[in-house]
Structure 1
Amino acid sequence: MNLRENTERVFQQIKNASQQAGRENDTVSVIAVTKYVEVSIAEALLSLGVHHIGENRVDKFLEKYNALKDYDLTWHLIGTLQRRKVKDVINYVDYFHALDSVKLAEEIQKRSNRVIKCFLQVNISQEETKHGFSKEELLAALPVLASLDNIEYVGLMTMAPFEASSEELNEIFKATQDLQLEIREKQIPNMPMMDLSMGMSRDYKEAIHHGSTFVRIGTAFFK
């Protein structure tokens, strides 16, 4: 593994994808997903231009956060969060990407000591193994979610099936973007809906084409 070469390649490919989509280079933030690497490797990324760190699990998030909290970083919790663990982690998080139920939102409201930036997770592909709101469930839940003033709903997050074709990826990401715009047009005060968390190492190009502002990259950094 050559971390420098991999990092340079990731940033160049994101830049290329942004240009191909007709977007400015600085409109896509790259989250380095460090769940499979030690703190020392995550730390090495910081000198290579990485400013966003993402972790799936609470224990690994806290391990990395405590080791690297003196750096100027933006911290992302991107995995499923059990309600009983909200109190342990939520006040260290800059962005939470997997808000997938009203009950979880209510627990965040209860446990947070500041406004938390959250992505609402949507299961556009309707996979049984995936978490997230369906479109219909989310639209019905908006009034309750809007009442929780310790949460700022910055946008939507979705994950496409691993085996999805390029055509299917485009359909999923476009449907997510369309839903984002539909909610934004409602002009709900704590739902600016300006961001999309879509795209990983295998499908970020399609995600960027459909407006993703945060891509979650793991494998491409560390292969």
Structure 2
Amino acid sequence: MSDQDIAQNLTSIQQKIEQTCTSAGRDPKDVSLVAVSKTKPNEDILKAITAGQLHFGENRMKELEDKMASIKNADVVWHFIGNLQTNKIKYIADRVNWIHSVEKAKYLKEINKRAGQANRVINALIQVNISDEKQKGGCKPEDLASILESAQNYDFVKVKGLMGMATFVDDPEEVRSEFKLLKELFDSHQKYNEGSVQLEHLSMGMTNDMKVAIEEGSTMVRIGSAIFGERNYD
């Protein structure tokens, strides 16, 4: 994809974010765009950086590790959004900025350990299964409180909010209730804000359901194909 195509796609997405926020009575500055670059070459990421995009998301730990090593721009903010593997957290802890997919207390303990060894702080989001689909991952809503309580005294990981993946459907209105659930959990668990738990962000919404997610309170949208085109698979 050309430099111009990626730049135009980013502009289009930003305009949609602004329009949706304005219609919903929200400040567009409160919604961050995470460009999901999984399976895409470094060249496409560099084109997006040139166009002003700095937040990038990857869902494979080895791919993220390789891209962080290759792309030296210190302003880039890296988000890991895929399934966590405890024994591989150590490979990304020295550079990753956000981990969206924490579904167990033991993952937070390991992130804190590895971030401490790297002498840096990593932001984490607790993934909640809002679609009731096993393949989507995430903790059960009723387990969220205990995970947050376990994380209040860490030095090197900060729990900054929640993440959820809605059911993939043709009509995004069908999943509005799933986004509402995550926002309700976000609001009802503010009482656990203490120490290293400070719930500020909701990571929800992708290319097909971004508008509904923003209307329901998303502060981070994860957009891939609308920026980089259809994904390439191994």
Deviations 1:99-150 (A, max 9, x none): 0112212211222223221000000221121211111111233322324343
Point out where structure 2 has 5 or more consecutive residues left out of the alignment. 230-234
3-state SS in 2 of match to 1:117: strand
1 CA distance for matches of 2:49 and 2:87? Answer: 31
Aligned match of 1:170: 176
RMSD: 1.6
> After alignment, is 89-98 or 163-172 more displaced?
163-172
- Other-structure match for 2:80: 77
2:27 partner amino acid: E
- Separation of aligned partners in 2, 1:185 and 1:95: 23
Does the Cα contact within 8 Å between 1:146 and 1:191 map onto a contact in 2? yes
Q: How does 1:31-46 map to 2 (within 5 A)?
A: 31-46=34-49
1:3 aligns with 2:24: no
Aligned to 1:213: 219
Kindly indicate whether residue 205 of structure 2 is the aligned counterpart of residue 199 of structure 1. yes
Give the deviation of 1:172 after TM superposition. Answer: 0.8
Structure 1: runs of 5 or more not aligned: none
Matched to 1:216, the amino acid is R
Match of 1:137 in 2: 143
CA distance in 2, matches of 1:132, 1:187: 20
CA contact 2:123–2:160 (8 Å) conserved in 1: yes
Name the stretch that deviates more: 85-94 or 183-192. 183-192
* Residue pair 2:44, 2:228 contacting (<8 A) in 1 also: no
Q: Please tell me the residue identity of whatever aligns with 1:22.
A: G
Q: What's the secondary structure of 1:146's corresponding residue?
A: coil
TM-score (norm 2): 0.89
Q: TM-score, with normalisation over the residues of structure 1?
A: 0.94
Q: Is the 8 A contact 1:184 1:191 kept in 2?
A: no
Tell me the SS of whatever aligns to 1:123: coil
Give, in angstroms, the shift of residue 185 of structure 1. Answer: 2.9
Is residue 172–residue 208 contact of structure 2 (8 Å, CA) maintained in 1? no
Determine the C-alpha separation between the residues in 1 that align with 2:174 and 2:199. 24
Structure 1, 175-184 or 163-172: larger mean CA deviation = 163-172
Q: C-alpha separation between the residues in 2 aligned to 1:166 and 1:57?
A: 26
* Distance in 1 separating the partners of 2:101 and 2:133: 16
TM superposition shift of 1:164: 6.6
Verify the 8 A CA contact 2:131 2:178 in the aligned structure 1.
yes
Pairwise CA distance, 1:4: 2.4
The letter of the residue matching 1:40 is E
Q: C-alpha offsets along residues 68-89 of structure 1, whole Å, 9 cap, x if unaligned?
A: 2224111111111100101111
Match of 1:108 among 76, 96, 111: 111
